[in-house]
Amino acid sequence: MEDNNELVPLLLVEARSFIAGEDDILPINDFKDFTKQFYVESVKLWYLAAPAIFTSVCQYSLGATTQLLAGHVGTIQLAAVSVENSVIAGFSFGILMGMGSALETLCGQAYGAGQLEMLGIYMQRSWVILLTTAMIMMLVYIFAAPILLLIGQTPAISTAAGSFSIWMIPQLFAYAMVFPLAKFLQAQSKMIAMAVIAAAALILHIIFSWLLMLKLDMGLPGAAVVLNGSWWFIVAAQIVYILSGTCGDAWSGFSWKAFQNLWGFLKLSLASAVMLCLEFWYFNVLILFAGYLKNAEIAVDSISVCMNILGWTVMVAFGFNAAISVRVSNELGAAHPRTAKFSVIVATITSLVFGLLMALVLMVFRRQYPALFANSIQVQQLVYEITPLLALSIVISNVQPTLSGVAIGAGWQAYVAYVNLVSYYVFGIPLGLLLAYIMDMGVKGIWYGMIGGTGVQTCFLFWMIYRTNWNKEASMAEGRIKEWGTDQKINKDKVQVVA
């Protein structure tokens, strides 16, 4: 019986390969073959990546626009928005986005295998877990001011950021709703709809932020009203899109199945959360440590501007992260290991090229762009000095999210969590603290530590992907679909391969 049980997943993979067709990657014997297949895969990747990049940029720009305008309201307002956005909201964003990323593996592989009816169930289970988590995390927002004081922020920054945090509680629950929605739509390649909604949200956000923060002089309260409203607009618009019937069998209505097997689903969500939180919080810790340097407001403002720029450019890589996660999970779910492997190669090369181009543009305009983010001459000068390090960070950080997307698509979250722990917290942060405080390098020392940790993590991911047995991953995807799906056999009419 044990032999038969071990053969079942492999036989099912072979059967699905026959149903869906063999890998569409032809043998690559020379550079001409590679170029041809690279073009074919690039078309598929960009079909997903282009709208995903646009969506990521628009959504990131909501907070970044608020931060930019806060810099023109005043220095303390900029510091308050930066600390709340990076430390308090960043803490919540990391946990909820990480927990929601479990759907990238489950929804993507189920879609590739034709188990469309499970996508809606997965999303509802994720809502239950994330909304419950948000209720617990609301305490962090309520007690943000004393928490910031406890960890060493100045009284002025802590008070302003604490007040802003309480006003931003509605955004916390929007995060809990929007991440499962995004992964549900993403697995089905509904990227265009997400991009249109994000664009509409950004346009409205810019108009109302300018009106309330600057024209009506409402400052931080006005910023909170608009930022909360923008995120809930995205949630409402995506729900309306799904309920309109555009997702076919993937959404069959609300179901009590969403409350089944929550503990097992929670464990998978937590593994995803640990992986991404260790990574996401690493960057937020940098701004926190900057608050301990001499001239804290100048240090926090300058590193916040650089992180803002880095965040915008990394949104391109996050688009590739979403695209390669969909490609890998869909192809593994459809028993196409060779296609999945080649998708990884194409996405990595493309994201590297884009990182180099964006770093070059930044260096060309290094004297001009700091004035867009702050009125303070001291802040502008420090940003100018950090720009070469920022450019290097852009190159590394454009490749790293793509590799993380591979890990999510293949379901390696637990393994990558250990990699992130070692790279960032055993190596990167101690290095940054040593250089910033012991070697008296200030903000530059913190940034060197960030680059070191990200570089080590990227090397680890390269090694993991290089050593991967993609045929084995396809078999494991089949087992994962059986464990988290239904007891139904695979429906031959529903098996789909991403074109």
- Provide the residue-wise pLDDT of the chain in tens; the chain has 499 residues: 344 444 334 333 333 333 333 445 556 666 777 888 888 888 888 888 888 888 888 887 888 788 777 776 766 777 777 778 777 887 788 788 877 777 776 776 677 667 777 777 888 888 888 898 899 989 989 998 888 888 777 788 788 888 888 998 999 999 999 988 988 888 787 888 899 999 999 999 999 988 887 778 777 888 889 999 999 999 999 999 988 888 777 777 676 666 666 666 676 667 666 776 777 677 667 666 776 777 666 777 777 778 778 877 777 777 777 777 778 777 776 777 777 778 888 888 888 888 899 889 888 888 888 887 777 788 788 888 888 888 888 888 788 777 776 776 666 767 777 888 888 888 988 898 888 888 888 778 888 888 888 888 888 888 887 777 767 666 665 655 555 554 444 343 333 333 3
Claim: this prediction has a pTM higher than 0.85: no
Name the region of 411 (left: φ>0; alpha: ψ -120 to 50; beta: rest): left
* Tokens representing residue 404 in the block: 């993380």
pLDDT in tens, 424-458: 888 988 898 888 888 888 778 888 888 888 888 88
Distance (Å, whole) CA 499 – CA 487? 28
Q: State the DSSP code for 17.
A: H
| Residue linked to tokens 């802590």 | 158
Angle in degrees, CA 300, 301, 305, rounded to 5: 115
> Cβ neighbours of residue 155 under 8 Å, at least 6 residues apart?
149
Q: Judge contact between 160 and 24, C-beta under 8 A.
A: no
Q: Tell me the DSSP string of 349-375.
A: HHHHHHHHHHHHHHHHTTTTGGGGT-S
Which amino acid makes up residue 183?
K
Tally Cβ neighbours within 10 Å of residue 154: 18
Tally Cβ neighbours within 10 Å of residue 377: 10
Q: State the DSSP code for 217.
A: -
The predicted pLDDT at position 255 comes to 67
Angle in degrees, CA 263, 268, 273, rounded to 5: 115
Q: Judge contact between 389 and 454, C-beta under 8 A.
A: no
> Cβ neighbours of residue 324 under 8 Å, at least 6 residues apart?
45, 343, 344, 347, 402, 405, 406, 409
Establish how many alpha carbons lie within 13 A of residue 432's alpha carbon, considering only the half-sphere containing its beta carbon.
28
In angstroms, the Cα distances linking 63 to 58, 148, 175, 300, 472 are 10, 20, 13, 16, 41
Distance (Å, whole) CA 284 – CA 460? 22
Distance (Å, whole) CA 66 – CA 83? 13
Domain boundaries, the chain: 35-484
The predicted pLDDT at position 260 comes to 66
The predicted pLDDT at position 163 comes to 85
* Radius of gyration for the chain, computed over Cα atoms and rounded to the nearest angstrom: 23
Angle in degrees, CA 410, 51, 121, rounded to 5: 50
Tally Cβ neighbours within 10 Å of residue 251: 21
